[in-house]
Amino acid sequence: MEQDNTQSKMGIGGLLKKLLPFVLPYKWLLAMTLVLTFVGSLMAQVNAVVLDRAVDAINALLHLEGGFQWSAAARILLVISAVLLGKEVLSALVTFGQRIFGEKIRINVSRDLSLRVVDRILTFRMAFFSQEGNEPGKLQTRIDRGIMSLSNTVKNFFIDILPLFTSAVLALVLMYSANVYVGLVATVIIPVYFWITAVQGRRMKGWRHRVFGTHQQLSHGILNIIESMGVIKSFNREQVEAAKQAALQEQSTDQQMQTRRISFLYEGLKTFVEQIGTVLIIILTAYLVLTDYPGMTIGKIMYHVMLFSNVSAPIRQLHRIYDDLNDALVYAEGFFGLLEAEDEVEESGRWTVASGQRVQGRFELRNVEFTYPGGTHAIRDLSMTIEPGRTTALVGLSGAGKSTIVNLLDKFYTPQSGTITLDGVPLADWDTQALRDNIGLVLQKNHIFSGTVEENIRYGRPDATQQEVYEAARQAYIYDQVMALPEGFQGNALNLSGGQQQRIAIARMFLKNPPIIFLDEPTASLDAIATEQIKNSIDAIKQGRTVIVISHNIGQIIDSDMLYVLDHGHAVQQGAPQEVYRQGGLYKEIFDASARSMNVDKIAETSTT
């Protein structure tokens, strides 16, 4: 919370300072943009100068003593046409170059921001993704809108603001050079406009934060609907979910209309101030001409009006750019919050496995306490030993803390107190990558990436040969099913059934072939025949490895070497499965209930008839 308060104080200067490291690598593009910007700004004053000279020349021509001369008029028109047309051609080329270089900077910065934030979030602890506000939809909105608004800031600054303000400064210098009084009038108008714009920005900042928060809720809500479509339809809750989204959309609409009302009010006020400036310039220059002020001619009236137009051009664009910059401030706070979240980076020790050395897989937990970021106290004063080369089963009711133990042993989370060691070395001292290189993890629901079947299996070991990939598929009893697909191993893995995808995840583990294996309901989504096949493969790969298995399937746990029974994060029973059953208690209740739910008696009766 403290970080958010700090971020909310970021101003436009702070925003540009944070963006500068992303822009500086393209200093040559930046230099070319600035040079072309200056050239373009000089050419923007040509119309005013030409109009000044043309009006005075035409006025002189009309008052010649010898009368009007078409030859002289033609010369004037020819010169005006040549200068203005030449200026427009050159200006178009300069503007094209300036915009190309500026846009290239914007695109490159956008790419770098995207790569940086992806690299960053990959280093975060799992706890970060469990925190409120970091749900997938909200996090995606935070990143997407951050990159979009920051890249637009680069565009606004280097493609829009710089040319406008360079032109304005040059126009103001020319106004002062022609007449100090007219220059002063133009100068007085500018700070008034800026002050109104600053007040507008402060007034709208709170509303922008509300709009941003509602946008996050909308994105997360839509993502949640898509992910939960099966449940929604099965319970006929389409109208309920639509009503929730309608309420959020109504809230978003009201917030956006309020920001627009405030914006339009201030924009109208700024337009009024700008027009007042134009009127004052016309009145003052006309007065100076009428009083024969030195250097003031009829042409100078148009000259100053056009120069003031160049001065006020940034003002006319400022409200849009300032709105964009303030939007960028809101989204940049969340985006840079990710890049600067040092506390969220996953810590890693330096202990690794020496060449030729093999991890034994002896885990020891002593008085471990762990509470999830959301407040769930999952592990309470837990002590246990996972012996190397043996299979240890974790049993308990839902919410007992079984999967949490696996998360702690894989360093997805860090306990608040107590110690966990692997082969005598504190888990915190282990190099995280080295630790996870030696652990194979198969979950109840494993993620399948967009890509081919072969790519998904090879995720277990990227340097595996094709033959090794095929062998892993055979071990997971998925090879024949994959080969029956039209595209075989090059088919899209997302098109496989849930059970087939589970076997792909198991094939990854076979390919990785680690000394430590965590199995969290590995056959939960498989049919009976597939479960038996996978069990046989897992039984084969268990040999000589440290295995932790979590399952509600009696067959998965009854042949384990050691059993821990968990209740509310605490180990209440332990020992060999048969011994723990004879003790009675929670394990016996779970075992007997599981047997009854499977109708073991009727199964036995059926199998004997």
Q: Which residue from 159, 570, 196 is spatially nearest to 399, judged by alpha carbons?
A: 570
Min mean pLDDT across 156-160, 272-276, 293-297 is at: 156-160
Question: If pLDDT is split at 50, 70 and 90, which confidence band does 7 have?
Answer: very low
Contact 45, 174 (CB under 8 A): yes
pLDDT tens-place string over residues 337-347:
888 888 788 77
Min mean pLDDT across 98-102, 105-109, 389-393, 520-524 is at: 520-524
* 3-state secondary structure at position 426: strand
pLDDT over 60 at 457, yes or no: yes
Residue 494 belongs to a domain: no
Question: What pLDDT, on a 0 to 100 scale, did the predictor assign at position 603?
Answer: 63
CATH number, domain of 243, equals: 1.20.1560.10
Per-residue pLDDT, averaged over 323-346, amounts to: 80
Question: What pLDDT, on a 0 to 100 scale, did the predictor assign at position 293?
Answer: 82
pLDDT over 90 at 226, yes or no: no
Question: Amino acid identity of 264?
Answer: F
Residue 369 belongs to a domain: no
Residue 335 belongs to a domain: yes
Contact 519, 538 (CB under 8 A): yes
Query: Is 175 or 314 the better-scoring residue by pLDDT?
Result: 175
Beta-sheet pairing, 377-386 with 363-371: antiparallel
The Cα–Cα gap between 121 and 129 comes to: 9
Of 27-36, 186-195, 354-363, 406-415, give the range with the top mean pLDDT. 406-415
pLDDT over 50 at 589, yes or no: yes
Question: What pLDDT, on a 0 to 100 scale, did the predictor assign at position 5?
Answer: 39
Per-residue pLDDT, averaged over 347-352, amounts to: 77
Per-residue pLDDT, averaged over 111-123, amounts to: 91
Q: Which residue from 150, 212, 203, 197 is spatially nearest to 312, judged by alpha carbons?
A: 197
Residues near 241 by beta carbon (within 8 Å), at least 6 away in sequence: 225, 232
pLDDT over 50 at 27, yes or no: yes
The Cα–Cα gap between 19 and 324 comes to: 15
Query: Is 445 or 304 the better-scoring residue by pLDDT?
Result: 304
Q: How are strands ordered across the β-sheet holding 391-396? A: 439-442, 516-520, 546-550, 391-396, 562-567, 570-575
Q: Which residue from 121, 129, 131, 171 is spatially nearest to 305, judged by alpha carbons?
A: 171
Q: Which residue from 492, 488, 451 is spatially nearest to 473, judged by alpha carbons?
A: 488
Residue 338 belongs to a domain: yes
pLDDT over 70 at 534, yes or no: yes
Q: How many beta carbons lie within 10 A of that of residue 101, not counting itself? A: 23
DSSP, res 354: P
pLDDT over 70 at 65, yes or no: no
Per-residue pLDDT, averaged over 58-87, amounts to: 75
Question: What pLDDT, on a 0 to 100 scale, did the predictor assign at position 356?
Answer: 61
pLDDT over 90 at 388, yes or no: yes
The Cα–Cα gap between 164 and 587 comes to: 76
- Burial pattern 163-172, b for ≥16 Cβ within 10 A else e, equals bbbbbbebbb
Supply 194's token pair. Answer: 């800026």
The Cα–Cα gap between 390 and 560 comes to: 8
* 3-state secondary structure at position 418: strand
Residue 289 belongs to a domain: yes
Supply 416's token pair. Answer: 């608040």
Question: What pLDDT, on a 0 to 100 scale, did the predictor assign at position 62?
Answer: 67
pLDDT over 70 at 212, yes or no: no
pLDDT over 80 at 539, yes or no: no
The Cα–Cα gap between 386 and 363 comes to: 5
Question: What pLDDT, on a 0 to 100 scale, did the predictor assign at position 4?
Answer: 41
Per-residue pLDDT, averaged over 552-560, amounts to: 81
Domain holding 213, by residue range, is: 2-343
pLDDT tens-place string over residues 372-382:
887 889 999 99
Residue 364 belongs to a domain: no
pLDDT tens-place string over residues 249-290:
888 787 778 777 877 788 788 878 878 888 888 888 888 888
Dihedrals φ, ψ of 509, to 5°?
-65, -40
The Cα–Cα gap between 156 and 160 comes to: 5
Question: If pLDDT is split at 50, 70 and 90, which confidence band does 387 have?
Answer: very high
- Number of domains present in the structure of the chain: 1
Per-residue pLDDT, averaged over 239-250, amounts to: 82
pLDDT tens-place string over residues 36-55:
888 887 887 887 777 777 77
Residue 117 belongs to a domain: yes
pLDDT over 90 at 592, yes or no: no
pLDDT over 80 at 67, yes or no: no
The Cα–Cα gap between 220 and 571 comes to: 37
The Cα–Cα gap between 115 and 136 comes to: 18
Query: Is 135 or 381 the better-scoring residue by pLDDT?
Result: 381
Question: If pLDDT is split at 50, 70 and 90, which confidence band does 319 have?
Answer: low
Question: Amino acid identity of 323?
Answer: D
Query: Is 545 or 204 the better-scoring residue by pLDDT?
Result: 545
Per-residue pLDDT, averaged over 106-113, amounts to: 92
Question: What pLDDT, on a 0 to 100 scale, did the predictor assign at position 6?
Answer: 37
Q: Which residue from 174, 245, 514, 218 is spatially nearest to 359, judged by alpha carbons?
A: 514
Instruction: Give me the DSSP letters along 260-307.
Output: HHHHHHHHHHHHHHHHHHHHHHHHHHHHHHHTT-TT--HHHHHHHHHH
pLDDT over 60 at 3, yes or no: no
DSSP, res 598: T
Contact 179, 296 (CB under 8 A): yes
Question: What pLDDT, on a 0 to 100 scale, did the predictor assign at position 9?
Answer: 58
Residue 486 belongs to a domain: no
Mean pLDDT, the chain, rounded, equals 82
Question: If pLDDT is split at 50, 70 and 90, which confidence band does 600 have?
Answer: low
Query: Can you name the residues that pair with 564 across neighbouring β-strands?
Result: 394, 574
